[in-house]
Chain A
Amino acid sequence: MSSGKELGADIFGLWRAGTRNLPDVATVYAEASTACDIEPTQAFARAGDLGFGPHGPWSSWQTLNDELSSLLVETSRNLRDTGRALVAAADDFAATDTTARAEFDRLRGRTP
């Protein structure tokens, strides 16, 4: 079980993952989901009796695409919430050991 400065470094790792790694990937997912959050209903629409129904294969396509969008939203939310939990955990652990806290603060202060 680590303690002191070593624990401080481990806590810094949690904080780093929670403030940088996971949120950055969550942002990728948020952007990916925003991009595909589309409903091109009008592109498929036709007034006349033509093709596979009044909107062609739109409904089948939209169902799959909506699933894709929701998967990406959920992944983004999971990453973001886990990141927040790691940051909160880092604070909780730091509160248990003053030496670890000092090392954590020192490493965090050096982090751009």
Chain B
Amino acid sequence: MSFDQLAQHAEEIRAKAVREQLRLECDSYERDLERDSNYPFWGDSPYDIDRKVRQYRSDLTPKVESMFADVPQLFAPFETCPDPAAFDTPINALERTMAKLSTGQASNDPASATTYPANPELDKLSGSESYLEDWTGDAAREFKENFIDPFPSIVHNQYALALVSRHALEAEKSVWIAARHDIDEIAHGANKALDHMYDCGGNSWAVGFAIFSAVVAVASIPLTAGSSSMALGLSLGIISGAAGVASAGPPPEPEKTSFSGNSPTQVINALRDAIGKLKQGIADQERAIADTMNRNHNTLVVNRASFLSPRPALADAAPGTYTGPGGLGYAH
């Protein structure tokens, strides 16, 4: 059984439940007829009983069909659920952004323990300080103090944003890997339970619900301030896919939930419960991702100056004003 065949499995489960329920009811009806008959002295002949059972089955079929008609719809949303592989391209894109903004040691990824080597091109901004340090004008001083000096912190905080954005995609990818695994396991278990409804021990199945351990909140990444990159007392929350988080170790074996039934109705009710639990798990995990992103966005909005240096006055200086005291002044 596999995820790609989910619709086919759903139909198999529905058809099997209908068939088994009809068989149960018709067998019971047939036994009642046989019990009430003492042919050839009185009551129905075997021929009459067979005819009545066939009529009973025909009359009962629409009702039984309707009892399990929702089974394909239970699975249908999963047939169009997101493809985990679709997140690889945007994840790779954000990794390229992180690599561009990495200043080395301080920019390690605390979630995956990946080290992004420092991008030496970034050193060219601090390298420009020596060209400007002898100039005395307001704009020169402002550019050094407001742009060059805090640059290490600004670039670290921008890198941190890229990191949390990337890990949120990892988390979402992980949700759908787990959801596909779980729905497949549920379908497999229900199908098997319908085959073994009357076997002792064979009419129950356990679902691991990987969905509940698919996403983990990782230790947050602290923001920094100033040229010394000192801690700002703020951080961005990281949420990621459990499988890619180094510090968490291997994901814990999920606690299995058992479902059972010794009739088609009971098995399908257990199936409905299991799918309901999976859907709730997906919603909870996605809500956790959204909440983390919303909190990070709030931190960004409130502390925007920690993520973007003010535009240097030089950038907007009018031609002819560069040499004045409000511009670069003079060199000494």
Contacts and interface: CB of A to CB of B under 8 A. Distances in A.
A46 B80 contact: yes
A50 B315 contact: no
B115 interface: no
Interface stretch (B25-33, B89-97, B252-260, B262-270): B89-97
Contact of A51 (B286, B291, B300, B327): B286
A91 B282 CA distance: 62
B45 interface: no
Contacts, number: 213
Contacts of A25: 121-122, 124-125
29 contacts: A2-B134, A7-B331, A13-B130, A17-B128, A20-B124, A32-B96, A35-B94, A38-B89, A43-B90, A43-B172, A46-B80, A50-B179, A56-B286, A57-B293, A64-B164, A64-B300, A68-B158, A71-B161, A75-B158, A78-B315, A79-B125, A81-B312, A81-B316, A82-B312, A82-B314, A85-B314, A89-B327, A93-B322, A93-B328
A61 B77 CA distance: 23
Q: Which 3 A-B pairs have the closest CB atoms?
A: A48-B77, A13-B131, A52-B286
Nearest to A80: B315
Given A31-B100, A68-B158, A61 B168 contact: yes
Interface of B: 76-83, 86-87, 89-90, 93-94, 96-97, 100-101, 119, 121-122, 124-125, 127-128, 130-132, 134-135, 143, 147, 154, 158, 161-162, 164-165, 168-169, 172, 175, 179, 279, 282-283, 286-287, 289-291, 293-294, 296-297, 300, 307-309, 311-312, 314-317, 319-320, 322-323, 327-328, 330-332
Contact of B290 (A24, A46, A57): A57
Interface of A: 1-2, 6-7, 10-11, 13-14, 16-17, 20-22, 24-25, 27-29, 31-33, 35-36, 38, 40, 42-53, 56-57, 59-61, 63-65, 67-68, 71-72, 74-75, 78-79, 81-82, 85-86, 88-89, 92-93, 96
